[in-house]
């Protein structure tokens, strides 16, 4: 019955979310009245000028920050704090340096009290999916940046999250690695039909990945425009349609920065 | 196998040469001086070892290690939870920090009179002085380790399902701080070792390496004094090396990439 009721409801509902911080005694509005609903299985990219509140918005969805007003609902239930049903991949490297790759991935299951054999078995499935079987017993400092982010994604996915929240996860990677990681992420996303919220500074990345691109404006951060990308996948990075969309988004962003 | 041995031997050769020359120079100077009271020779110390090794190994050594172990154990038991609490909770930090800052500058040996009044001439008394020497370095390094924990590790753990303070400390803060804690224990062992000898010398104990040094000094048996000094030095070195081997090589392998 409940499941039935949920079918025509969005997986994630962001309703009137505002957020202010106190900076040097002054209240600074970072997000102002953000409304967005995200369907199950959707890949939503967020783009906007630096400081417009993209990270803040994602942190609110993750439960790491509470909105000053408004609410975020996951399957109709308000989000009150962080939890494994919303996985998050951070821009900075966040693997636990004291754990091996395998133990990093098995972290979530370990917290849930899963037996050693079972959690390693499951972690190995994800390890294999990211092609790092031979690094099972390596420590994070022995991995390249791209490998670290792969492990971070696997570590979030092993918890079977309903949504995967990614804040510029490939921001620190070189262009080549980045392209590979994007393709891999898409494959994972298509296999598991995960809902993804993905912040990026790269228009190309957004167009290559997203079903929708949310363009945000700065000071205070709010949603300026939402662009649907209906191009078939896998997408060509340089097709005329892509170029057209890119021009439009760049125009949008340029006008933002001028203001 | 043989090749490995040869390599190690070659590498150790210079160290051995260095130590051998020290012994030779020492022996030569001692023979020149010709007064056991001022500088006993290497050979005299060897004779002293021959005569007293049983007391040394079966009486003084175990007693000193007992004092050391008591103090270090109590130090870890108190400093670890306290440092963790202060590093994790601002409230606890504000509450306890002033007490720590007031008591910490008192040199451990200044506690000797109270150690005797409180515990008498017992092992606990010597252990107490060792404890005072050990507790602060462990406390401070634990605190610093917890305080320097990057936010991203805590938030990653939260997002992966660690929500209680207990889980966050157990799975994130403690393992992160472990190298710092281990460093604190190492410093504590160095300080405690000195405190131990001084405490046994100045009457907190009626046995042990430090006590024996002092009693040999009263008898002007300086070759025995020197023998005990050497034993104390070697033992201190051994304890430090053993600790480093066990902790750094085995437990803290993950640090390799961060320290070098
Ligand atoms: N904890 C905080 N305390 C005070 N101000 C904050 C805090 N977190 C964010 N801010 C402010 O909110 C604004 C938005 O920050 P946010 O990190 O969300 O931007 P962003 O869009 O992710 O930027 P970037 O693209 O550079 O990552 C910034 O001006 C920032 O200084
Ligand atoms: Mg950001």
B163 → closest Cβ in A82, A99, A108: A82
Chain A nearest-CA residue for B152: A94
Per-residue DSSP letter, B56: I
Q: Is position A76 within any domain?
A: yes
Question: A residues 148-207 near B, CB within 8 Å?
Answer: 155-156, 159
Q: How many CB atoms lie within 10 A of CB A192?
A: 15
Q: Can you give the pTM of this predicted structure?
A: 0.87
Looking at the CA of A56, name the nearest ligand.
Answer: 1
- Asked whether the beta carbons of A11 and A162 are under 8 A apart, the reply is yes
What's the pLDDT band for A218 if we cut at 50, 70, 90? confident
What's the pLDDT band for A154 if we cut at 50, 70, 90? very high
Q: Does the distance separating the beta carbons of A84 and B160 come in below 8 Å?
A: yes
Q: Is position A121 within any domain?
A: no
Give the model's pLDDT for residue A237.
85
Instruction: Compute the radius of gyration of chain B from its Cα atoms.
Output: 23
| Domain CATH code at residue A230 | 3.40.50.300
User: Could you tell me the sign of the dihedral formed by the alpha carbons of A187, A190, A194, A199, in that order?
Assistant: positive
The two beta strands, A222-228 and A69-74, are unpaired
Cα A53 to ligand 2 centre (Å) = 7
Please list, in sequence order, all residues whose beta carbon lies within 8 angstroms of the beta carbon of residue B20, skipping any fewer than 6 positions away.
none
Q: How far apart are CA B125 and CA A114, in angstroms?
A: 47
Looking at the CA of B155, name the nearest ligand.
Answer: 1
- Asked whether the beta carbons of B61 and B170 are under 8 A apart, the reply is no
Of A250, A238, A201, A185, the residue nearest A45 (C-alpha): A201
B260 touches chain A (CB under 8 A): no
Chain A nearest-CA residue for B168: A111
User: Could you tell me the sign of the dihedral formed by the alpha carbons of A131, A194, A183, B155, in that order?
Assistant: negative
Residues from chain B contacting residue A99 (CB–CB below 8 Å): 175, 254
Q: Is position A193 within any domain?
A: yes
Q: Does the distance separating the beta carbons of B160 and A142 come in below 8 Å?
A: no
Residues from chain A contacting residue B152 (CB–CB below 8 Å): 90, 92, 94
Q: Is position A12 within any domain?
A: yes
Residues from chain A contacting residue B177 (CB–CB below 8 Å): none
Tell me the CA distances in angstroms from B225 to A11, B137, B214, one per residue in order.
79, 30, 8
Give the model's pLDDT for residue B202.
84
Model ipTM value:
0.90
pLDDT along chain B (260 residues), means of 10: 70 87 94 92 93 91 94 97 96 93 94 93 93 97 96 96 94 94 94 93 85 93 95 94 83 62
A111 → closest Cβ in B152, B162, B253: B162
Q: Does the distance separating the beta carbons of B159 and A88 come in below 8 Å?
A: yes
Give the residues across from A17 on adjacent strands: A34
A62 touches chain B (CB under 8 A): yes
Q: Would you kindly state where each structural domain of chain B is located, as residue ranges?
A: 51-259
Give the model's pLDDT for residue A8.
58
A131 touches chain B (CB under 8 A): no
User: Could you tell me the sign of the dihedral formed by the alpha carbons of A72, A76, A81, A85, in that order?
Assistant: negative
CA geometry: angle B49, B54, B60, nearest 5 deg: 95
Q: Is position A130 within any domain?
A: no
| Domains contained in chain A, number | 1
Q: Is position A112 within any domain?
A: no
To the nearest whole angstrom, how far is the Cα of B154 from the nearest Cα of chain A? 9
Q: Between A253 and B142, whose confidence is greater? A: B142
Class of domain B51-259: mainly alpha
Residues lining ligand 1, judged by CB closer than 6 Å?
Answer: A 21, 23, 30, 50-56
Residue A79 has pLDDT above 70, yes or no: yes
Mean pLDDT of A85-92: 93
> What is the average pLDDT value for chain B, to the nearest integer?
91
Give the model's pLDDT for residue B245.
86
Give the model's pLDDT for residue A1.
39
Give the model's pLDDT for residue B3.
64
Supply A150's token pair. 């792969």
Residue A27 has φ and ψ, to the nearest 5°, of -80, 125
Q: How far apart are CA A125 and CA A243, in angstroms?
A: 38
In the numeric block, the tokens 């190994």 are attached to B57
Chain A nearest-CA residue for B154: A94
């Amino acid at each position: 019955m409940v499941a039935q009721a949920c079918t025509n409801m969005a997986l994630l509902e962001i309703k009137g979310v505002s957020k202010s911080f106190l900076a040097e005694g002054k209240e600074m509005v970072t997000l102002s009245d953000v409304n967005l609903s995200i369907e199950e299985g959707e890949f939503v990219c967020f783009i906007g000028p630096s400081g417009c509140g993209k990270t803040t918005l994602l942190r609110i969805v993750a439960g790491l920050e509470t909105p000053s007003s408004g609410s975020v609902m996951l399957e109709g239930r308000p989000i009150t704090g962080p939890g494994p049903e919303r996985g998050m991949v951070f821009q900075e490297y966040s693997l636990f340096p004291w754990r091996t790759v395998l133990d990093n991935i098995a972290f979530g299951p370990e917290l849930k009290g899963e037996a050693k054999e079972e959690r390693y078995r499951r972690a190995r499935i994800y390890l294999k999916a990211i092609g790092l079987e031979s690094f099972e017993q390596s420590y994070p400092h022995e991995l390249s940046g791209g490998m670290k982010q792969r492990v971070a994604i696997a570590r979030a996915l092993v918890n079977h999250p309903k949504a995967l929240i990614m804040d510029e996860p490939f921001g620190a990677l070189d262009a080549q690695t980045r392209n590979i990681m994007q393709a891999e992420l898409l494959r994972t996303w298509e296999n598991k039909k995960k809902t993804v919220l993905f912040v990026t500074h790269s228009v190309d990345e957004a167009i290559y990945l997203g079903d929708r691109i949310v363009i945000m404006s700065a000071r205070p951060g709010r949603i300026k425009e939402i662009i649907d990308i209906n191009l078939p996948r896998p997408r060509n990075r340089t097709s005329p349609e892509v170029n057209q969309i890119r021009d439009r988004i760049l125009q949008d962003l340029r006008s933002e920065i001028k203001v | 196998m043989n090749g490995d041995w040869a390599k190690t031997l070659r590498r150790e050769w210079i160290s051995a040469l260095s130590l051998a020359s020290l012994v030779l120079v020492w022996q030569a100077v001692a023979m020149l001086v010709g007064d056991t009271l001022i500088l006993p020779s290497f050979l005299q110390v060897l004779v002293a070892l021959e005569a007293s090794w049983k007391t040394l190994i079966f009486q003084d050594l175990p007693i000193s290690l007992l004092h050391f172990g008591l103090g270090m154990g109590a130090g870890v038991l108190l400093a670890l939870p306290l440092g963790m609490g202060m590093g994790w909770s601002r409230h606890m930090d504000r509450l306890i920090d002033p007490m720590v800052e007031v008591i910490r500058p008192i040199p451990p040996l200044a506690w000797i009179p109270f150690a005797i009044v409180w515990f008498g001439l017992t092992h606990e008394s010597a252990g107490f002085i060792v404890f005072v020497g050990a507790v602060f370095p462990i406390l401070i390094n634990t605190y610093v380790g917890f305080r320097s924990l990057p936010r991203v590790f805590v938030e990653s753990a939260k997002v992966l399902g660690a929500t209680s303070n207990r889980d966050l400390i157990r799975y994130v803060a403690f393992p992160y701080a472990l190298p710092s804690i281990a460093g604190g224990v190492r410093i504590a062992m160095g300080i405690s070792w000195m405190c131990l000898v001084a405490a046994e010398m100045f009457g907190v104990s009626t046995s042990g390496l430090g006590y024996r040094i002092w009693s040999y000094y009263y008898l002007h048996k300086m070759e025995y004094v020197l023998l005990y000094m050497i034993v104390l030095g070697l033992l201190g070195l051994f304890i430090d090396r053993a600790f480093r081997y066990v902790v750094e090589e085995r437990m803290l392998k993950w640090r390799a990439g961060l320290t070098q």
